[in-house]
Amino acid sequence: MPVMLDLLVDLPRALALHCLSLVPLDSRLRARGVSRAWRHLLADESLWAALDFSPASGIAARVSVKLIAAAVRLARGHVRSLSLLDCDRIAFVELHAIVAAHGGALTELRLGRRASGCHAADMHWEQAATLMRCAPQLRLFEASVHCPPSQAAAMLRGEPPFGTALRVRELRVCGTMQDGMRDEAVARAFATDLASHVALQRLSLSRITLSSQGAVTALADAAVSLRLNSLQLWECKLQPVALRSLARLLTQGALEELTVSSSCFPLIGGPDLRAFCVALHASKLRSLHLYGSGLCDRPQAAAAVVEALSAHATLSICSLVMCLSCAPDEQRPVGAALGAMLAADAPALTALNVSYNFLEQDDGLVPLFAGLALNTHLRTLQCGHNRAMDERFARQHILPAVQTNRSLREFAMHSDAFSPAVQQAQDLVAARSAAC
């Protein structure tokens, strides 16, 4: 019978431990069952002092509390570093129990999102403070945190109960129209605190008043300085004077994702519209979401924004929701711009959402689906809740365009009346998706 050699055991112990430290945690745990010699090597606490469960570590198993606890136990109270970046299945109660039981030696804790597509839960500011109290030796704590305006400044400054160890990777500040940053000086002070928090990558402001040019300029300066890659502004009372600062942010910053929701205030318009559109076209955005934004009943401004997005070099996901609604006799420039955007067949553009724009058949939807027939890269098209269409229109324009287009894998179109032709088009796209 041939003799099986165990090269790992024959290596010097330090070298064998180094080799094992390069193995992902789930494989390292399974390797304890290979042999007694391997189990003895893998009992070394140094292999479990730094625990990285993020997808970037190469771990293949589903990250669960059981998996984390198994690795933590082997460290015997000597876990110094714990990374759960992009892990979206760990509840705070479970995380709190782990940190409370083993946080005595913990000096680094990484939570939240690194990848933009991850759905790891945000942490409330009180939860962040609780974890920091459980791990008094923390020197680095990265997390995605949401908080009210009253706590945002204290968090960014490292004031109690947070401390300087907290590095917020993603910050969501949620206020109300009454208690938000109504005063320009307050907004400027927040922007100053923001600029000093170098770990920040994604910022979301909800119902925080940014109606003055000075407030938006200060925010844009901070975003450029930090090189934020994601900015979301939800109902912040933005006015057309903000376009100049947003244009500078698009050209000088590092934004890849921009979301603006402004259902009650007209943002896009005025003398800075052209500069904004030029910056929009030249930007490095990968994801753009506009909701409302004051484009309704401004067909020329709406068309200018859509034209700026046509043949965009990097834009992959685009949502223009409730912002292209114009009077039926004024939709021609908007519809033509949408059709030209799809006909340009930009390789980067894979998803387009133009729902709730109440597009008319002839001036809005005809050019849209004519452009779709010429497109070879779009994979998702959502255009629900537009104006009523008849079956003849759906059979003459929608179904042929979907049949001609071979790239679509998701198609959603809702109307008040059921349309067999639209249903047939949706079934066709669903079949293509299932075949892949």
Q: What is the pLDDT of residues 282-310, one digit of tens each?
A: 999 999 999 986 666 677 888 899 999 99
Q: Are 334 and 297 in contact (CB under 8 A)?
A: no
Domain that includes residue 349, residue range: 317-436
**Average pLDDT over all residues of the chain:** 86
Of 100-104, 274-278, 308-312, the range with the lowest mean pLDDT is 100-104
Judgement on whether residues 246 and 150 belong to the same structural domain of the protein: no
Residue 131 lies in a domain: yes
Residue 82 lies in a domain: yes
Residue 301 lies in a domain: no
**pLDDT above 90 for 246:** yes
Residue 2 lies in a domain: no
Residue 53 lies in a domain: yes
Average pLDDT over residues 144-171: 83
Q: Which of 116, 148, 168 is the last residue in one of the domains? A: 168
Residue 153 lies in a domain: yes
Judgement on whether residues 155 and 182 belong to the same structural domain of the protein: no
Residue 3 lies in a domain: no
Judgement on whether residues 78 and 188 belong to the same structural domain of the protein: no
Terminal CA-to-CA distance of the chain, rounded, Å?
A: 48
Judgement on whether residues 321 and 409 belong to the same structural domain of the protein: yes
Selected residue with higher pLDDT from 416 and 76: 76
Judgement on whether residues 120 and 220 belong to the same structural domain of the protein: no
The string of pLDDT tens digits covering residues 253-262 is 899 999 999 8
Judgement on whether residues 226 and 351 belong to the same structural domain of the protein: no
The string of pLDDT tens digits covering residues 174-227 is 876 555 555 667 777 888 888 888 788 899 998 888 888 888 898 999 999 999
Q: Which of 279, 294, 309 is the last residue in one of the domains? A: 294
Q: How far is CA 93 from CA 89, 90, 99, 136, in A?
A: 12, 8, 10, 19
Percent of the chain residues past pLDDT 70, beyond the cut? 91
Judgement on whether residues 133 and 222 belong to the same structural domain of the protein: no
Count structural domains, the chain.
3
Average pLDDT over residues 158-178: 79
Judgement on whether residues 128 and 202 belong to the same structural domain of the protein: no
- At 2, the pLDDT band (50, 70, 90 cuts) reads very low
The string of pLDDT tens digits covering residues 16-43 is 899 899 999 999 999 998 888 899 999 9
CATH code for the domain in which residue 143 is found? 3.80.10
What is residue 363's predicted lDDT score, i.e. its pLDDT? Answer: 82
What is residue 181's predicted lDDT score, i.e. its pLDDT? Answer: 57
- Residue whose token pair is 């912002």: 323
Q: Which of 139-148, 165-174, 180-189, 372-381 has the highest mean pLDDT?
A: 372-381
Q: Which of 117, 149, 168 is the last residue in one of the domains? A: 168
* Category of 139 on φ-ψ map: left (φ > 0), alpha (ψ -120 to 50) or beta: alpha
Of 1-5, 272-276, 423-427, 429-433, the range with the lowest mean pLDDT is 1-5
Judgement on whether residues 226 and 245 belong to the same structural domain of the protein: yes
Which residues neighbour 86 within 8 Å (Cβ) at sequence distance 6 or greater? Answer: 54, 55, 56, 113, 114, 115, 118, 120
Angle of the 184-195 helix axis to the 149-157 helix axis, nearest 10: 40
Judgement on whether residues 159 and 184 belong to the same structural domain of the protein: no
The string of pLDDT tens digits covering residues 106-133 is 999 998 765 444 444 578 889 988 998 8
Residue 310 lies in a domain: no
Judgement on whether residues 335 and 354 belong to the same structural domain of the protein: yes
Judgement on whether residues 185 and 61 belong to the same structural domain of the protein: no
- Tokens representing 280? 């929009």
What is residue 259's predicted lDDT score, i.e. its pLDDT? Answer: 95
CATH code for the domain in which residue 240 is found? 3.80.10.10
